[in-house]
Each structure stands twice: as C-alpha cells, then as structure tokens.
Structure 1
Amino acid sequence: MLKASDIMTQDVATIRGSATVAEAIKLMKFKKLRALIVDVRNNQDAYGIITKSDIVYKVVAYGKDPEKLRVYEIMTKPCIVINPNLGVEYVARLFANTGLHVAPVIQGELLGIISISDIIEKGDYLENPKVKVLAQELVRAIADANSACSLYGATSKECLDAWELVDDIESEAAYQQGAEFKEKTAFQEFCDAHPEVLQLRHEKLLAKV
C-alpha cells in the first residue's frame, strides 16, 4: 500500500507568519496553490498553515483589507501534520475526521505537502482498496498460522505470534469497513479448538505490563 511520502507534493511553498495576507494571496496565485506552510522561527517552534479557505472565510467574507492583515492572524498553528510513513488510507481517514483538505508532511523537517487532490490523483485505491488487500492478507495469515500450529504446536511462540497477527488483521479489516466484529473471529475459533491458548495469551499480555 502507498504511503504519504509516495504521493505527497515535494514542491512546498512556505511563508513567514509576519507576511501580509496580500503577499500570501499573490504567492498562492503565482504557485497555483491552495495552501502555504507557515515556516518555523526556530527548532522549538511549530509549523502553521494558511489556506484559501482561511482567506475566504476570515478576510474576504468580512471585507477586511489583506494588505493590513498578517498571516499569523488567520493561520492555523500548530497545524495537523502527516508522518511520511502513514498509509494513504489513514491520511484520508484523518482528513475525513478533521475536515482537512491539505496538511504538511513532516518528520523532523518539512518534507512535502499532501492534499485530497493528491489522494485522488496519485492514490492506488481503485486498484488496491484497503479492504480487499486486508482480505488477501487475512487468508495468507490464517494459512501461515495453521502451518505454524502444525509445525510447532498450538502453544508454541511461533503459533501464538502467527495467530496474533491474524487477530490484528481481522480487527483492522473490521475497522476499515466500519463493521461490527463477527460473532467469532478466526482466532476465537482457533481458541475454541485449543482452549489452553487463551491462558497462554493472557500470561503473555500480563508479562508486558
């Protein structure tokens, strides 16, 4: 699956918080951008963002003079940032949950910017929808878990680790679909056949606390 770094736009335009909104508008028009990243002043500062929506909703809508307003007066800071290793489907989920259309991609430094347009135009969700990929992963994981069980025994570390992966994938698939869990997951059916596994799993979880 694609990550944020695979589809982000690397050519990012930044602006100072002290710049005027008029300067921001000119830069957006020149670069044909929907948003500008407000640069940090030092390594303890946070990145900000100013979007076309900010300008329309906070400046144009109230008849304010963009030559007299500063970027810091209408920007969002700190802004939500995206880890470059985040899967594209999670970027989309974050945008959906927050109402965002664009966000900077940051890992220590500004790497790029990602927008809903990048997701639509560069994403592989048509060819590889997450739910379909997870279904394929689940089939493989169950087969691997059954093999581990046959080779090493139902209570072996290899078998337990393999079934934990099955459980994780099945949980993720249910989350992606917004679906309730089935009455019994593949792992629960395995535990029905091997009840001693649940006790071992509880002991393993307690050992991590």
Structure 2
Amino acid sequence: MPVARDIMTPSAECVGAEDNILTAARKLTDLGVGALPICGTDNRLKGVLTDRDIVVKVLGKGKDPEKTVAGDLAQGEAVTIGADDDADEIFATMAQHQVRRLPVIDGHTLVGMIALADVARALPDPQTGDLLEALSSN
C-alpha cells in the first residue's frame, strides 16, 4: 500500500504566521492551491489556512485582510500525517478530523501536502466512497 510520501504533493510552501491575509490570498492564487500550511518563525507548523477560511473567517466577518495575520486563523495543534503513514492511516485521519488536506511531516519537517484527491487515487473504490461520506457528514 502506498504511503504519504508516495502520493503527496512535495515541497509545500508555507504562509508565515505573521503574514497578513492579503499576502496569503495572493500566494494561494499564485500557486493555484486552495490551502497553505501556516509556519511560525520557529519553522514549526501552526496550522493550515484555506481559501474558505479567508472568505468565512476574515471577509465574511468584516475583518481587514491587511491587518489580520494568518497565525490568527491557526486553530490549536495542526492535524498532520507522517511521511511513512499508509493510505489507510491517511484515510482514518482525514475522516476523524473532517479535513480534506493534510500537511505531511517527516519528524518535525514539513515535506509536502496531501489532498483528498491524492488519497482517492490511492485507495480502492469502496474506501474512497467511505472517505467522501465521512468528510461530508456533519
């Protein structure tokens, strides 16, 4: 069975915890992605910022995207997956935490990102349906 490092998108770029949301939105746009890991000045992963976070938690609440920083949107400890964890473990982690994207770490180093589509391609068909159902339920 494939492991995370086999199916991830390698070399994920971070948005800095102190970067403002406007900078983060431009980075999402430039990279053509829907999520970026949030990294602190200590090079530790602080969370994941999604395009939805920007719309709902910043714009939707009338906050200024130039004054709001990415670190303000990091919620507790980031949910991650180990680089050598297999597709079943990735599936279980995504379902348990109701997330569609996971940072992949090797020790404490961010080595990539894995998205729902990556896992769907790696899992047998019945598990893919289970994952989509688990992520879609409230």
- CA deviation string 1:17-75 (max 9, x = no partner): 111000000000110111111223226x4442211221122012212221121111112
| Contact kept? 2:12, 2:113, Cα under 8 Å | yes
After TM superposition, the score normalised by the length of structure 2 is 0.81
Aligned to 1:51: 50
Unaligned runs of 5+ in 1: 131-209
The letter for the 2-side match of 1:83 is: G
Q: Which has the larger radius of gyration?
A: 1
Distance, in Å, in 2 between the alignment partners of 1:47 and 1:13 is 13
Unpaired runs of 5+ in structure 2?
128-138
Q: Is 1:84–2:122 an aligned residue pair?
A: no
- What letter is aligned with 1:66? P
- Give the Cα–Cα distance (whole angstroms) in 2 for the partners of residues 49 and 60 of structure 1: 17
Question: 1:104 — aligned with what?
Answer: 103
Deviations 1:91-123, CA, capped at 9 Å, x for gaps: 112111111111110012111111112112x31
Alignment partner, residue 73 of structure 1:
72
SS of 2:48's partner is: strand
Whichever residue aligns with residue 37 of structure 1, its letter is: P
Structure with the bigger RCO (C-alpha within 8 Å, sep 6+) is: 2
Q: SS of the residue aligned with 2:104?
A: strand
Percent identical among aligned pairs is: 27
1:18 has 2:25 as partner: no
Give 1:85 shift: 1.3
Give the CA RMSD over aligned residues.
1.9
User: Which runs of at least 4 in structure 1 moved beyond 6 Å after TM superposition?
Assistant: none
Counterparts in 2 of 1:137-176, with a 5 A limit?
A: none
